[in-house]
Structure 1
């Protein structure tokens, strides 16, 4: 191989290596400004798992500004939030079949709509289709005593009930989740 061809080959090899590592860095979701998170908990014998990207307040006004009131929101950043349940459960008294769902909300000042949509594998809420909703429930948001900088979901038990809560900035939207009663 001539010296000139060796130089060209070495240059091409270096270029390929550069772009390969560059694309791998872009695929590393942990380096995003809104990193991926997972919250898992038990409701009776059902496992509830929530996968989401957690945005931060960063000095911004969140609800009513960054996240407009009365508009569908992916309930996180990047990909749509995914809510998965291993068995049928009751959400605010309504049955949600076992499965994987796109989790969306419509935040409002006095009420939030919680949405479980059959299309879970999508980017944001750009292709959200209301006709694919499996369940919608309404809850009342609460003001938090202490603001939460990075959005988070929590699964907890209080007063004999299981709760899923989205907390961010000065707001908490929570809904009850219960096992389906056996006959």
Structure 2
């Protein structure tokens, strides 16, 4: 009798927990999935200088100027505004930036794009962008690519302590130089 009661209790607990697991609903994959880019970009190198986390919207036949309108603050990706973390003191576009995490906004323009680092955190889109929270603004140099990128992408390249962040979408590539600040001993 005791074994039967224990067996029934165990069976009831298993059924309760398995029903909870079955009831859990997971969302479909986001159409603009999150991604990350870092420098150094070799996964074996743990000592990073910079890392950016962003979502990757797709063109899907749309014009870039409709998705990232000229002269308007853009979240630099999709969904939540992109966040960039500097692990060491760097020059970002020629301006000094301290280690920390910032929100990355951009303003697309005909000449160079304005690239903004902001103190704001956990911002969805650019709807709540507050210019008073800007840490710095730099100019991102525009170039054109012969290859069109369907999904917005960010990549870092360079050698040693002189690197560039490239943001590409469609045939537009926006580049910002980064340079490690060498501490004097």
Mapped contact 1:102–1:116 kept (Cα < 8 A): yes
- 1:118 aligned residue: 119
The alignment status of 1:59 with 2:91, answered yes or no, reads: no
Report SS of the residue matched to 2:24: helix
Number of matched pairs: 162
Secondary structure of residue in 2 paired with 1:141: strand
Cα shift readout 1:13-37 (whole Å, capped 9, x = no counterpart): 9xx9599523xx23x6xx0000010
Cα distance in 2, alignment partners of residues 109 and 86 from structure 1: 32
Q: Larger Cα Rg: Structure 1 or Structure 2?
A: 2
1:39 corresponds to? 37
Is 1:70 aligned with 2:68? no
> Hey, what's the Cα distance between the residues in 2 that align with 1:113 and 1:59?
25
Cα contact 2:92–2:177 (8 A) shared by 1 = yes
Q: In structure 2, what is the equivalent of residue 167 of structure 1? A: 168
Provide the C-alpha distance between the structure 2 equivalents of 1:116 and 1:105, rounded to a whole number of angstroms: 9
Contact map agreement 2:112 2:142 (CA 8 A) in 1:
yes
**How far, CA to CA, are the matches of 1:168 and 1:48 in structure 2?**
21
Which residue of structure 1 lines up, in the alignment, with residue 3 of structure 2?
A: none
Runs of 4+ in 1 over 2 A off after TM superposition: 16-22, 158-161
Match of 1:21 among 7, 21, 24: 24
For the residue of structure 1 that corresponds to 2:70, the secondary structure is coil
Cα distance, 1:46 vs structure 2: 5.0
Name the residue aligned to 2:8: none
